[in-house]
Amino acid sequence: MRIALSFLSLAAALAAQEPVPPVLRVTTRLVQINVIVHDRKGQPVADLTKDDFVLLDQGREQKLAYFSVESALAPKPGAAPAPKLPPGTFTNRPELRASAPAAVTAILLDGLNTRFEDQAYARQQIVKFLTTQVQPSDRVALYTLGRTIRVLHDFSSDAASLLRVLARHRGEYAADLDASEPAGSDTGMEELDAWLDEVNQNMSEFYTRNRVHTTLEALDAIAQHMARVPGRKNLIWVSGGFPFSIGLDNLGPTTGERTTFSSDLERTGRTLNNASVAIYPVDARGLVGIPEFSASNRKADLRDGSKALRQIQRTHETMEIMAERTGGKAFYNSNDIKGAVRKAIDDSRVTYVLGYYPAHDRWDGEWREIKLRVRRPRVEVSYRRGYHAIPDRPPGPQDRNNALREAVWSPLEATSIGLTVHLRPVEQPKPGLLRVTIGIDSRNVNLEQREGRWTGKLELLFVQGGGTAEKAGSIQDTLNLNLTPETYREAMRKGIYLAKSIERLAGTAEFRLVVRDATTGAVGSVNVPLKDILPKAAAKETGP
């Protein structure tokens, strides 16, 4: 019971040290924008005030409801250190971790959409960056994308540790990329060539769709993981090609039908913008002076040069639009990939956060353009250029299933709902149980006032897997909240707590808790390596 008491004492300490913001339950939505301002020398401008900014939504000036300055140049004065977590306690809340960064940069090495030879060059450049340019204030994570996303190293300023894990990474074989770019048939028989080209094109479309969906799911997972980190969040996406064109449909040459990924792209764009993640696409091919002789096209027929050039141009257009819509910057036609990474990180040093409640009432799903002016001459301003005015709607069954599935398969923890979990093995009322105590940050939960009470609904998924077990297991549960005014105030101060006993599956290596707000679709997850909480004898069952 001593550990359980210390767990609750931690919650009380957090409630005492963290001011509770007013909880707004209104239909008007706050649009938040991260803004970076540089002077003519490329140095961050750190002394602007709220009155220095003029913001326009679809040409109409908006009143700023929120303004803050977040800086990674020096620690905030008077900032209290994060409390130490009790043994057996795990959290997805960055502010509760001793090394919580003020700003972070994730580097995604994209092996799904990049040819192997280009991956090797990009990897060399990242090694040079880690060897010569990482600064003590940087917080860098390394992820790779192949058939799925994989964590090489989570956020750290330890360049030696980052280099060690990168040294073990040999790249991914981009089989889906090869399959989605078939060469033309040349059997010498016109009708047979036409038939083979049609078959190949159908297969190509299948693999392209797979690449798009896998890529977007990876971006969603990274955004969910970085959502609660304060300050600027950069995603440096090192890729040799992007499998879709933003705003353009892919026309199938054999069927004449249009294949579009616009709804998927909009969803991922909303996730990135809601998490304030700026994308910095970096072309892994480096300098492409003559496309036919670039690394990615070194085997191409020279007579096909115009096609290769069009493909590269479409890639660069996509990069520009993705960067512009999220507030990042695209880098291509340059061999200085390590310099691009340094530039993206330097953008994090000073960030202005602006928030406003749009004065319009046209939540019709259309793209709305944001323009920002700074009342200071000769400065360069970077920010996301708009948002989709998506109307409120209750998430449907498909949304629910997608959110839970993504949180389960992703090796990254989702942080839209803050969670703290304590696990301990117990032998009562029967052997082999795990006692799970869960703390939920109620400020991330949608609660509505009805008939004098505050109501809400949370969906919980308890998952065990990995290790030497032959199968994984999951338990799904629902928590219906119906709080009196007194318990509501207490929940806002200390959070929502519950406990559950779960039968441990022999041989499983990891326990994962996923919590989803049934109203908003927000998701939080926590991963617990069972070897860290099990007795030594039981921990051996989980494997290495």
Domain coverage including residue 294? 104-346
Question: How buried is 339 (Cβ within 10 angstroms: 0-12 exposed, 13-18 middle, 19+ buried)?
Answer: middle
Condensed to tens digits (0 to 9), the pLDDT of residues 180-220 reads 565 666 666 776 667 666 666 667 677 778 888 888 889 98
83 inside domain: no
85 inside domain: no
**Looking at residue 407, which CATH number applies to its domain?**
2.60.40.2150
What's the mean pLDDT in 256-280? 74
196 inside domain: yes
Condensed to tens digits (0 to 9), the pLDDT of residues 95-141 reads 776 555 557 899 999 998 888 888 888 888 899 999 988 887 788 99
Condensed to tens digits (0 to 9), the pLDDT of residues 479-495 reads 999 999 999 989 888 89
Residue 366 φ then ψ, to 5°:
-80, 160
Number of continuous H segments (helices) and E segments (strands) in the chain:
11, 24
pLDDT value at residue 484: 93
- The better pLDDT of the pair 367, 422 is held by 422
> Do 314 and 231 share a domain, yes or no?
yes
pLDDT value at residue 252: 39
Please tell me the total count of domains within the chain.
Answer: 3
529 SS3 class: strand
Which of 346, 376, 404 is the last residue before a domain boundary? 346
In angstroms, the CA 502 to CA 506 distance is: 12
pLDDT value at residue 312: 72
43 inside domain: yes
* pLDDT greater than 80 at residue 413: yes
81 inside domain: no
> Do 296 and 366 share a domain, yes or no?
no
93 inside domain: no
80 inside domain: no
The pair of three-digit structure tokens given for residue 141, joined into one six-digit string: 């994570």
Range of lowest pLDDT (3-7, 151-155, 199-203, 336-340): 3-7
> Do 134 and 221 share a domain, yes or no?
yes
- Residue 304's Cβ-side half-sphere holds a number of Cα atoms within 13 Å equal to 10
Q: What is the pTM of this model?
A: 0.70
pLDDT value at residue 249: 38
In angstroms, the CA 288 to CA 294 distance is: 6
Strand segments (E) across 364-467: 367-374, 380-382, 386-388, 419-426, 433-440, 448-450, 453-465
Condensed to tens digits (0 to 9), the pLDDT of residues 335-371 reads 788 888 888 888 777 888 898 989 888 888 788 999 9
443 inside domain: yes
Cα separation values, 60 from 54, 55, 360, 361, 370, Å: 10, 8, 9, 13, 9
**Looking at residue 182, which CATH number applies to its domain?**
3.40.50.410
Q: What is the mean pLDDT of the chain?
A: 77
Per-residue three-class SS string for 169-214: CCCCCCHHHHHCCCCCCCCCCHHHHHHHHHHHHHHHHHHHHHHHHH
Residue type, 526: V
Peptide bond into 429 cis (omega under 30): yes
> Do 416 and 340 share a domain, yes or no?
no
pLDDT value at residue 297: 46
